[in-house]
């Protein structure tokens, strides 16, 4: 159960160890706090609370704090299921007072904008790289249409940029103005009007103009 039990008569009920403690070489601590500190991978406050109540899985009231949900890249609230983001925290697990703390420390490898927005049931409204089309897509509700990412952005470790310009700068091999224009329009291959600018044609060793087919070049 990821907690400590008291070495006392089991007939007295919790928090006494049941069955009776009989492993004579295990260290016995003076307090539940000292014992829980030895379980360094478990949230200290949760361990002490569980230990002093004598509880195990499912025996405690929800703490209304937050814990990392690794499958979704977000944080859930330790509360009775029903409202958005509520789930009973499975002990042992680290708990955090706020979503921000949970995202910063419990989901440190997840983009912070992704974690904080998804934990609140929202989108970040930032911009992510769409490498398929050499542009950026907005992290917003796909049902709103372009320039929102469709399908929905769900790669939670990808960086989310504040603006399409910042995102396009990360695509350094693509013309910045063209990338921003394509991104803000929500366009993909074949979805934009020609830009009347030039691009390299490696097979011919020349440059071609981005314009309607017909005129030379």
pLDDT at 215: 61
Contact (CB, 8 A) for 179 and 193 = no
Lowest-pLDDT range of 117-121, 160-164, 196-200: 196-200
pLDDT at 184: 92
pLDDT at 27: 92
Q: Work out the pLDDT band at 123, boundaries 50, 70, 90.
A: very high
Pick from 192, 208, 188, 210: which is nearest to 200 by CA?
208
Q: What is the distance between the alpha carbons of residues 62 and 112, in angstroms, rounded to a whole number?
A: 25
**Mean pLDDT on 153-172:** 94
Q: What is the distance between the alpha carbons of residues 153 and 141, in angstroms, rounded to a whole number?
A: 9
Q: What is the distance between the alpha carbons of residues 28 and 7, in angstroms, rounded to a whole number?
A: 8
Q: Work out the pLDDT band at 208, boundaries 50, 70, 90.
A: confident
124-154: pLDDT as tens digits: 999 999 988 889 999 999 999 999 998 889 9
pLDDT at 57: 46
In terms of Cβ atoms closer than 10 Å to its own Cβ (0-12, 13-18, 19+), residue 43 is buried
43-102: pLDDT as tens digits: 788 788 778 776 554 445 788 899 999 999 999 999 988 889 999 887 667 889 999 999
Q: Work out the pLDDT band at 189, boundaries 50, 70, 90.
A: very low
**Helix or strand run (H / E) with residue 68:** strand 66-69
Please give the C-alpha separations between residue 91 and each of 44, 48, 159, 183, in angstroms, as whole numbers.
Answer: 12, 12, 31, 44
């Amino acid at each position: 159960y990821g907690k400590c039990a008291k070495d006392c008569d089991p007939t007295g009920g919790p928090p006494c160890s049941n069955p009776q403690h009989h492993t004579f070489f295990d260290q016995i601590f003076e307090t539940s706090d000292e014992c829980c500190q030895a379980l360094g991978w478990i949230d200290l406050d949760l361990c002490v609370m569980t230990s002093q109540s004598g509880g195990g899985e499912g025996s405690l009231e929800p703490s209304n704090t937050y814990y990392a949900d690794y499958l979704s890249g977000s944080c859930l609230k330790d509360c009775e299921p029903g409202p958005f983001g509520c789930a009973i925290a499975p002990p042992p697990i680290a708990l955090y007072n706020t979503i921000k703390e949970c995202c910063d420390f419990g989901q440190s490898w997840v983009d912070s904008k992704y974690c904080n927005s998804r934990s609140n049931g929202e989108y970040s409204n930032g911009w992510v790289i769409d490498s398929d089309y050499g542009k950026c897509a907005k992290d917003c509700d796909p049902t709103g249409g372009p320039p929102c990412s469709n399908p929905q952005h769900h790669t939670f470790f990808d960086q989310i940029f504040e603006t399409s310009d910042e995102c396009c700068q990360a695509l350094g091999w693509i013309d910045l103005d063209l990338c921003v224009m394509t991104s803000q329009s929500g366009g993909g291959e074949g979805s934009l009007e020609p830009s009347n600018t030039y691009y390299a044609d490696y097979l011919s060793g020349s440059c071609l103009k981005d314009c309607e087919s017909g005129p030379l070049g």
